[in-house]
């Protein structure tokens, strides 16, 4: 190409996408950027390449090789399409939608009509991915087109989907289950060349985009299991709605995970199922930029905008997207622009808000009709045949008595179980002394020439002494001993969170940094040649996406102890959607288990409204039917046993741990070596000093230590203090047994440092009243407050003093 022609092409490479013909309805009109006001044959040729049905955005990619890769494809002659196959797929998907529409007119199904090209686009992606080595695909999508994808891509039978419309088995879902367009599914996709790709469609809540990082986490876990450190065998594919992709922060947070060591999946393929509408809202109201996909420009990746009424072009873009992912291990976006034939759901009338657009849409034929016309074939007979097949399937579905499961769990779940808690599930969690001292030695072993920071060295030396029984073991050491011992029992461990390698409170030092080179070294990852993986990563500054990711990881690697740590427990509310919709309800809605651990630093230490509370009350409110475990260990040994219990039992339930901050190095929270070499996690720690109490204080967490110190100060010998170490499942038997040790006790007092409307109080008081009968039961707490804690350090001290004084005052004296 001459230099002058090159300059012309360059302008089109840069700006051509703005002038491309992308919207079949004419809502998104092509622009005429002044840079493209060029005449001549080069301009005409460039216009053909860049301004028809595909608009490629790629000139923002800093790497010249990648830009050139895209340009070469955009500028090459398009290969002939396999129009017969494409037509068959369009008819099948289109008629499937029509049958649903005519048979279930009053039911929501979130039709794909208007972007049915999605089906041949996904076909192409799967065919090409399989050629490039994909064995599995993790697929996440929202409501739009989900049922069609389930049948035409995941391989579910139409009968199965119809049966769900008939709701043939409502009893099996009473009090649980989920709506049909949220359920996950697994199936086999057979490619055009006869190979098979396992598809895992992820279950998701209504909350749009929330499923994105979950799918990535699942893909990473599957890759770790199937392809070691490779990313070839599992391809993640995320489908986004246009309004949701532009608007939801989770989508942006998820994109940011793409190239991070701890999270990468070797590239995710994204499709924006872009119907240029969100429920009733128009694009100018849902995105501040021209394309919803613009959020993806935060990554140096190509975005292919493509007109969904031109399936041949869409298929080309689909093919490039997968090839690009495999060549560069990068994310890539296909922005498939079409329309929505009906209302948001089929019972909605869109003409009340978009009357003009919907008049135009009503005049458009189904895609299979226009495609057949373009390729000069007649499709009517085939359409009638397929309609007949589907009507027969529908009739058959009405005779089905039970919904068949859409999903089959992989065999690595066979060893695990959910359901109700059963004490028979308990296992030994103590570790031999030699084992602990060996791990202590390993924690300080670094490569020759590695210079450890003197402060860290001192701490590590102390750790060695602790594990030899010369000092009590602190929390930070106990945690690493739990991980080390699990690794030596062949349990992989994955821990992530902001600054988790060192630990926010300087307590962990799971990774050491060379003072000369800043090289990082993680002793637990280097214990033996054939050890299970120990991953510890500093996460990006995100809560939502990273919690979603770890939940996803735990879903596909139940053998691994997966932990996410909040910097301060308060920040976990940034991940509330994952806590509410996945962690708490996943088993109830979808029958899917997770052993994810959330480590949430909690405790009132005068650090203000946002560094005090992990919102204990919210977790307890979510607790029902043994859906998760909520614990607050007060000693290092308790923490050790709790973590090991979580990994070693067969019971896979999310575990929420309220972890200490100030108490991390407090002597009262440290434990002697023998508490690690014997015993197990105690759900209630009864009093070990006072044997015949007249009053019993019950509390959880740090305040327990403060109550003990206060009792000592007062020389009180008649007040027993119980530490409630597990809040849920509520240890009723253990608490009753502890109370029975004090027959003379006439008063039981719940003490919490949180305000009355927070903490465990609302959960606990009714239970305590029932169990402690006929003793009087009351509570000591801060007065109710809209924010969890005071902003004044001094104010906190006064409050805490008052609280302790009240706890040691009998009801009468008050």
Ligand X SMILES: Cc1ncc(C[n+]2csc(CCOP(=O)(O)OP(=O)(O)O)c2C)c(N)n1
Binding residues (CB under 6 A) for ligand X: these are: 144, 206-208, 241-244, 273, 275, 277-279, 340, 344
Query: Which CB, 143 or 164, lies closer to ligand X?
Result: 143
At a CB cut-off of 8 Å and minimum separation 6, what does 480 contact? 439, 443, 463, 508, 510, 524
What is the CB neighbour count within 10 angstroms for residue 510?
Answer: 21
Radius of gyration of the chain (CA): 30
What is the CB neighbour count within 10 angstroms for residue 641?
Answer: 26
Give Cα separations from 97 to 87, 100, 207, 482, 667 (angstroms): 15, 5, 24, 53, 67
Q: For residue 431, give both structure tokens.
A: 């570790």
Strand 196-201 to 332-337 pairing: unpaired
Question: Whole-number minimum distance, CB 621 to ligand X, in Å?
Answer: 21
Q: How far apart are alpha carbons 675 and 463 in whole angstroms?
A: 16
Question: Whole-number minimum distance, CB 416 to ligand X, in Å?
Answer: 31
Query: Which CB, 275 or 594, lies closer to ligand X?
Result: 275
- C-alpha angle with apex 689: 686 to 694, nearest 5 degrees? 75
Looking up tokens 């959020």 gives 295
Query: Which CB, 237 or 372, lies closer to ligand X?
Result: 237
Nearest to 645 by CA among 439, 426, 421: 426
Looking up tokens 């279950």 gives 203
Question: Whole-number minimum distance, CB 353 to ligand X, in Å?
Answer: 13
Q: How far apart are alpha carbons 422 and 437 in whole angstroms?
A: 33
Write the DSSP symbol of residue 790: -
Question: Whole-number minimum distance, CB 632 to ligand X, in Å?
Answer: 31
Question: Whole-number minimum distance, CB 143 to ligand X, in Å?
Answer: 6
Query: Which CB, 277 or 597, lies closer to ligand X?
Result: 277
Query: Which CB, 141 or 789, lies closer to ligand X?
Result: 141
Adjacency order of strands within the sheet including 185-190: 54-57, 303-307, 332-337, 269-274, 234-241, 136-140, 196-201, 185-190
Write down how long the chain is. Answer: 814
Helices (H), 236-338: 242-247, 249-255, 283-286, 311-328
Question: Whole-number minimum distance, CB 284 to ligand X, in Å?
Answer: 13
Q: How far apart are alpha carbons 249 and 534 in whole angstroms?
A: 30
Query: Which CB, 138 or 273, lies closer to ligand X?
Result: 273
Residue 597, strand partner residues? 563, 655
Give Cα separations from 499 to 7, 177, 505 (angstroms): 47, 37, 9
Strand 185-190 to 196-201 pairing: antiparallel
Q: For residue 664, give both structure tokens.
A: 């991390």
Adjacency order of strands within the sheet including 629-631: 534-538, 493-497, 561-565, 597-601, 655-659, 629-631, 726-728
Residue nearest to ligand X (CB): 241
Question: Whole-number minimum distance, CB 209 to ligand X, in Å?
Answer: 7
Query: Which CB, 344 or 602, lies closer to ligand X?
Result: 344
Query: Which CB, 67 or 207, lies closer to ligand X?
Result: 207
Question: Whole-number minimum distance, CB 594 to ligand X, in Å?
Answer: 21
Question: Whole-number minimum distance, CB 251 to ligand X, in Å?
Answer: 10
Question: Whole-number minimum distance, CB 110 to ligand X, in Å?
Answer: 7
DSSP of 235-255: EEEEEEEHHHHHH-HHHHHHH
Question: Whole-number minimum distance, CB 107 to ligand X, in Å?
Answer: 16
Q: Provide the strand spans (E) within 387-545.
A: 493-497, 512-513, 520-521, 534-538
Query: Which CB, 28 or 593, lies closer to ligand X?
Result: 28
Backbone phi, psi, residue 727, to 5°: -90, -30
Question: Whole-number minimum distance, CB 403 to ligand X, in Å?
Answer: 24
Question: Whole-number minimum distance, CB 243 to ligand X, in Å?
Answer: 3
Nearest to 480 by CA among 465, 499, 463, 461: 463
Question: Whole-number minimum distance, CB 140 to ligand X, in Å?
Answer: 14
Question: Whole-number minimum distance, CB 264 to ligand X, in Å?
Answer: 26
Query: Which CB, 145 or 788, lies closer to ligand X?
Result: 145
Sign of CA dihedral 188, 191, 195, 200: negative
């Amino acid at each position: 190409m001459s230099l002058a022609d090159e300059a012309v092409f360059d302008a089109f490479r840069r700006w051509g996408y703005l002038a491309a013909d992308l919207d079949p309805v004419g809502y998104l009109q092509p622009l005429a950027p002044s840079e493209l006001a060029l005449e001549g044959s080069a301009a005409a040729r460039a216009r053909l390449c860049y301004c028809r049905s595909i608009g490629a955005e790629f000139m923002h990619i800093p790497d010249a090789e990648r830009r050139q890769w895209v340009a070469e494809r955009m500028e090459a002659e398009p290969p002939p399409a396999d129009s017969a196959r494409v037509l068959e797929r369009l008819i099948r998907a289109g008629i499937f939608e029509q049958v649903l529409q005519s048979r279930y007119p009053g039911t929501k199904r979130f039709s794909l009509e208007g972007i049915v090209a999605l089906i041949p686009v996904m076909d192409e992606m799967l065919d090409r991915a399989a050629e490039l080595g994909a064995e599995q695909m993790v697929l996440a999508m929202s409501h739009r087109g989900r049922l069609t994808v389930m049948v035409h891509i995941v391989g579910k039978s139409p009968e199965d989907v119809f049966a769900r419309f008939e709701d043939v088995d409502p009893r099996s879902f009473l009090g649980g289950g989920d709506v049909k367009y949220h359920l996950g599914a697994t199936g086999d996709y057979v490619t055009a060349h006869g190979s098979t790709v396992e598809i895992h469609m992820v279950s998701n809540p209504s909350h749009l985009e929330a499923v994105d990082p979950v799918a990535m986490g699942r893909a990473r876990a599957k890759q770790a299991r199937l392809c070691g450190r490779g990313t070839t065998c599992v391809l993640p594919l995320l489908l986004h709605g246009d309004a949701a992709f532009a608007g939801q922060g989770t989508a942006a947070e998820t994109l940011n995970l793409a190239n991070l060591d701890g999270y990468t999946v070797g590239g995710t393929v994204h499709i924006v199922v872009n119907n240029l509408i969100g429920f009733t809202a128009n694009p100018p109201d849902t995105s501040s930029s021209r394309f919803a996909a613009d959020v993806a420009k935060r990554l140096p990746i190509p975005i292919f905008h493509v007109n969904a009424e031109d399936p041949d072009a869409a298929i080309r873009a689909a093919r490039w997207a997968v090839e690009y992912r495999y060549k560069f291990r990068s994310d890539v976006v296909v922005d498939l622009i079409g329309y929505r034939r009906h209302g948001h759901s089929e019972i909605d009338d869109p003409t009340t808000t978009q009357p003009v657009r919907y008049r135009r849409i009503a005049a458009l034929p189904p895609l299979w009709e226009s495609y057949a016309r373009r390729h000069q074939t007649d499709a009517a007979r085939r359409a009638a045949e397929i309609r007949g097949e589907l009507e027969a399937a529908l009739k058959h579905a009405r005779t089905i008595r039970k919904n068949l499961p859409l999903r089959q769990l992989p065999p690595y779940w066979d060893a695990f179980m959910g359901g109700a808690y059963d004490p028979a599930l308990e296992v030994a969690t103590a570790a031999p002394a030699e084992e602990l001292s060996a791990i202590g030695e390993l924690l300080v072993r670094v490569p020759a020439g590695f210079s450890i920071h003197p402060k860290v060295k001192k701490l590590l030396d102390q750790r060695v002494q602790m594990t030899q029984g010369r000092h009590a073991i602190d929390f930070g050491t106990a945690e690493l001993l739990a991980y080390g011992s699990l690794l030596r029992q062949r349990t992989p461990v994955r821990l992530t969170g902001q600054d988790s390698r060192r630990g926010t409170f300087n307590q962990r030092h799971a990774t050491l940094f060379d003072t000369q080179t800043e090289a990082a070294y993680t002793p637990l990852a280097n214990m033996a040649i054939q050890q299970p993986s120990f991953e510890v990563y500093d996460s990006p500054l995100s809560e939502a996406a990273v919690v979603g990711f770890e939940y996803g990881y735990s879903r596909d690697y139940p053998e691994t102890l997966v932990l996410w740590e909040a910097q301060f427990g308060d920040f976990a509310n940034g991940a509330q959607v994952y806590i509410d919709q996945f962690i708490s309800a996943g088993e109830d809605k979808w029958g899917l288990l997770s052993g994810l651990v959330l480590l949430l630093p909690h405790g009132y230490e005068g650090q203000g409204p946002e560094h005090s509370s992990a919102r204990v009350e919210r977790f307890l409110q979510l607790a029902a039917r043994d859906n998760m475990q909520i614990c607050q260990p007060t000693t290092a040994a308790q923490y050790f046993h709790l973590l090991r219990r979580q990994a070693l039992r067969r019971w896979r339930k999310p575990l929420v741990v309220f972890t200490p901050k100030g108490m991390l190095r407090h002597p009262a929270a440290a434990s002697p070596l023998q508490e690690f070499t014997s015993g197990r996690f105690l759900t209630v720690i009864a009093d070990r000093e006072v044997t015949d109490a007249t009053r019993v204080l019950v509390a959880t967490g740090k305040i327990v230590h403060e109550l003990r110190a206060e009792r000592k100060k007062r020389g009180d010998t008649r007040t027993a203090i119980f530490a409630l170490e597990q809040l849920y499942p509520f240890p009723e038997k253990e608490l009753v047994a502890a109370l029975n040790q004090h027959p003379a006790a006439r008063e039981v007092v719940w003490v919490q440092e949180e305000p009355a409307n927070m903490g465990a109080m609302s959960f606990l008081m009714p239970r305590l009243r029932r169990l402690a009968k006929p003793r009087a039961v009351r509570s000591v707490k801060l007065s109710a407050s809209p924010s969890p804690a005071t902003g004044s350090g001094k104010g906190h001290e006064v409050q805490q003093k008052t609280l302790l004084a009240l706890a040691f005052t009998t009801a009468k004296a008050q």
